[in-house]
A and B are shown apart, each in its own frame.
Chain A
């Protein structure tokens, strides 16, 4: 295969990873890494580097769409980002010390958990009053409902903060955005309205990934020739995906893709156990 053919193949695969990532709500990175490793035989660390950069690009590209609806809670986003950014730095530094087969296995497990999370329906939280920290830090915000602008309460701040630190660490360790876990902390743990949770998560993903990216750069996980078709592919795919998402209800698609991702997860774990 020539460089030209290889770049085009990477671009198309990255495009579909970005598209599927947006349609399933899993994000491009978590799908991209196993494909690059299994199909293209790219070193896991270079695959993670390419994925991390794509995550920053998609988060930035989608920000305006989210911001236009004023759903992003900047206070919650910045407050939790303290945990996420520290987690990301630690996660990215750990890549140097953890053998790649172990990272493969962790990747597989995180992939399986992400599928479960994305298919799970979110349940309404029963508590009505905000956590004392949320009141003290004035984290509560307003969102538009059928009855007009309404204030929403914020629950379990310490749990949300801890989960977000974990999300940051996984983002740095695996080169992904860990959007599924971020939305989980905001939506299920802190009880934010779903749209507020997804757009605040998107706001945070780019910053968290940027924290790891610096360490990835200096550790040599960023390989320009692999990066360029991947970033462009994922970015275009993700933007197309978010357009389709508005028009269609892709429930069947989500199940179909979840099955594919399930097998990718198994293969990552299998590779890890083989010690490759």
Chain B
């Protein structure tokens, strides 16, 4: 496959549209279920664990709004990994070894960031 900058741009746009649709779906479900409840701002606490991959997957199976919104965010992050991955591929095709390894380094850092605590 020939990778071009336009292809990377297209993939990013598709990724962001999918992610926005999932976030919109989750948000709409949230408003249907809790829309008429009185809003109170969440108070930040360091011990509160907001995200875990496992609870997100379980929540998605139960069509739980928060988990769906998180899935949308996860798709958005995944799109960034794809961006770096495609750029690495682009450099391989151009026989630019140094830039291929540069992209791989950035890729590893992105993975490290998500693995770091979850």
A and B found bound together: yes
A residues with a Cβ closer than 8 A to B are: 1-7, 40-43, 45-46, 53, 56-57, 60-61, 63-68, 70, 72, 74-75, 78-79, 81-82, 85-86, 89, 92, 137, 206-207, 209-215, 217-220, 222-229, 231-232, 235
- Whether A218 lies near B38 (C-beta < 8 A) is no
> Is B114 in the interface zone, CB < 8 Å from A?
yes
A/B interface sample: 29 pairs, CB < 8 A = A3-B37, A4-B36, A5-B39, A7-B35, A41-B41, A57-B20, A65-B9, A66-B9, A74-B87, A85-B109, A86-B109, A207-B106, A209-B80, A210-B110, A210-B113, A212-B113, A213-B113, A214-B116, A215-B113, A217-B73, A217-B114, A217-B117, A222-B73, A223-B42, A223-B50, A224-B66, A224-B69, A224-B73, A228-B23
Contacts of B34 in A (CB 8 A): 3
Q: Which interface class (under 10, 10 to 19, 20 to 34, 35 or more) fits B? A: 35 or more
B44-82 near A? 1/0 per residue, CB < 8 Å: 111011110000000000000110011011001101110
B interface secondary structure, majority: helix
Query: In chain A, what residue has the closest Cβ to B34?
Result: A3
- Whether B50 lies near A43 (C-beta < 8 A) is no
Contacts of B13 in A (CB 8 A): 60-61, 63-64
- Whether A235 lies near B20 (C-beta < 8 A) is yes
From the candidates A5, A78, A213, name the one contacting B77 in the complex (CB within 8 A): A213
Give min CB distance, A131 to chain B, whole Å: 16
Contacts of A75 in B (CB 8 A): 96, 99
Besides A60-B83, A70-B5, 18 more A-B contacts (Cβ < 8 Å) are A2-B37, A41-B41, A57-B16, A57-B20, A60-B12, A63-B9, A74-B90, A74-B99, A78-B102, A213-B113, A214-B113, A214-B114, A220-B44, A222-B51, A223-B42, A224-B73, A228-B27, A231-B20
